[in-house]
Copies of this chain bind each other. A is one copy, B any other.
Amino acid sequence: MKKIFGTSLLLAGMTVLAQTKEDSIQFNRISTEILNNGKGYSELKELTKNIGNRLSGSEAYEKSVQWAEQKLRDAGADKVWLQEVMIPVWVRGRESLHIRTSKGSWKNIKMLSLGNSEGTGGKDISGEIIMVKSLDEYEKLPTEKVKDKIVFFNYPFNQEHVQTFIAYREAGAYRRTAASLTAKKGGKFAIIRSLSSAFDDVPHTGNMRYQENSAKVPAITIGNTSADELETLLQQQKIIAKLNSNCGMKGEKLSHSVIGEITGKKDQEVIVVGGHLDSWDVGEGAHDDGAGIVQSIEVLRTFKKLGIQNNHTIRAVCFANEENGTKGGKQYGKTAKENSEKHLFAIESDAGGFSPRGISLEMDDIKRNQIKSWGKLFLPYGVYNFEGKYSGSDIAPLHEMGVPAAELVPDPQRYFDIHHTAEDTFEKVNRRELLLGSAVMTQLIYMIDKNW
């Protein structure tokens, strides 16, 4: 009995080794196929150069829907369809910010209204700027000091975080709340220092929201150089600002997320890989999130091209309206629930098309540890970090329904130089870095499809 038991253990051990070898070969096939023949980079060029930026509700977004539909078909998806989503429509229009000293002449400052902010309705709004360095400092200001003023929230992006997303989250509190905080004390509008790791004058837009019952005063952002200059000026003298903007919400509109899938051979349980098809209305939405879109489509293409027989249905989802509403993600979750679709796993790529370094896992410890146990397979592809416990905003509704969720973790050093700016262009994306991200997502989905 002892001997038989020993032999069984040995056989079990050999099976594990053989499995690992087989997986390692499959990982290599996937990476080789994508690095040699990947379509993601040329597809990203089409999306960014032929269509460009594509805010929800824009004509460009609708073009990108048609484009994504075609690319999913080209990738060999068995089924491609559009999922209806009601999305908010926010429009920027003309806008400008000028400042002057008490006796000086007006100077134009590069700026962007924050997404979802109301504007000045095309009229000039002007007043004296007051500056605060933190939310704490603002809270301590008596209402009379803020009333009729323009509040400059001059909170800098903290360069010392190696993980730039931490700095982004910290500074993000200002972007989200500045307008309502300003309104609450009677201020005219809010200026925030951009959430930017770059030492330049490029303003970074991004979503803001008004608190319930808040007066909808405008919120705008300026680049780091302008913020530095304004800071220096304000330490010396009184500064008047004048804003003229036409942005604002223009109701809702019917639009679409785009979905393609390759059907499971064993069952119809769904594995989701996705990114968001919309972008802000500046730049080309290349890293954010054209990268995630083409990487997700590449996953399907690679399964088909290599003839990997997927047990479960693998679905690439190009979500609508992540930037200023996440309506696409919410609708996807709602529809899955209504149709009682079972989802096995979901992964999102929405942190830029940079070299992959890890996979963040939002799931129970049993599943997390199983994925971690595959870590050695990923190491040759530069992926070593499985410690994150978050996933992405578009698959959050799925996760809330109990679906294990994940996010691709690329190198975070360059992202916040160009995030939500005119500089987020195709030229900032490296072919090999982008393709490696697709390879890693394909490898992970191969493992989950095989083992779950």
**A128-163 near B? 1/0 per residue, CB < 8 Å:** 000000000000000000000000000000011010
Question: Which of A355, A381, A417, A433 gathers the greatest number of chain B CB atoms within 10 Å?
Answer: A355
Tell me the minimal C-beta distance from A198 to chain B in angstroms.
8
Tell me the minimal C-beta distance from A286 to chain B in angstroms.
15
- With A199-B431, A432-B197 already in contact, the answer to whether A162 and B35 are too (CB < 8 A) is yes
Chain B residues in 8 Å Cβ range of A384: 384-385
Structural contact, A159 and B436, CB atoms closer than 8 A: no
Give Cα distance in the complex from A436 to B436, angstroms. Answer: 22
Structural contact, B430 and A160, CB atoms closer than 8 A: no
Structural contact, B436 and A160, CB atoms closer than 8 A: no
Tell me the minimal C-beta distance from A275 to chain B in angstroms.
20
Chain A contacts to B: CB under 8 angstroms? 31-32, 35-36, 159-160, 162, 164, 197-199, 355, 357, 380-382, 384-385, 411, 413-414, 417, 430-433, 436
Structural contact, B432 and A159, CB atoms closer than 8 A: yes
Q: Across the two chains, which residue of chain B brings its CB closest to A413?
A: B432
Would you list 26 pairs from A and B whose C-beta atoms are within 8 A, ordered by A residue? A31-B160, A31-B162, A32-B160, A35-B160, A36-B159, A36-B160, A162-B380, A162-B381, A162-B382, A162-B436, A164-B432, A197-B432, A198-B431, A199-B431, A355-B355, A355-B411, A357-B382, A382-B411, A384-B384, A384-B385, A411-B411, A413-B430, A413-B432, A413-B436, A414-B430, A414-B433
Tell me the minimal C-beta distance from A58 to chain B in angstroms.
30
Give Cα distance in the complex from A199 to B432, angstroms. Answer: 11
Chain B residues in 8 Å Cβ range of A35: 159-160, 162
Question: Which of A198, A413, A414, A417 gathers the greatest number of chain B CB atoms within 10 Å?
Answer: A413
Tell me the minimal C-beta distance from A200 to chain B in angstroms.
10
Q: Across the two chains, which residue of chain B brings its CB closest to A34?
A: B160
Chain B residues in 8 Å Cβ range of A357: 382
Tell me the minimal C-beta distance from A333 to chain B in angstroms.
33
Tell me the minimal C-beta distance from A24 to chain B in angstroms.
13
Chain B residues in 8 Å Cβ range of A432: 159, 164, 197, 413-414
Give Cα distance in the complex from A380 to B31, angstroms. Answer: 27
Chain B residues in 8 Å Cβ range of A197: 432
Give Cα distance in the complex from A414 to B430, angstroms. Answer: 7
Chain B residues in 8 Å Cβ range of A159: 35-36, 432
Q: Across the two chains, which residue of chain B brings its CB closest to A411?
A: B355
Give Cα distance in the complex from A382 to B199, angstroms. Answer: 23
Structural contact, A413 and B355, CB atoms closer than 8 A: yes
Give Cα distance in the complex from A385 to B379, angstroms. Answer: 9
Give Cα distance in the complex from A414 to B197, angstroms. Answer: 21
Tell me the minimal C-beta distance from A181 to chain B in angstroms.
28
Tell me the minimal C-beta distance from A351 to chain B in angstroms.
14
Q: Across the two chains, which residue of chain B brings its CB closest to A417?
A: B430
Chain B residues in 8 Å Cβ range of A414: 430, 432-433
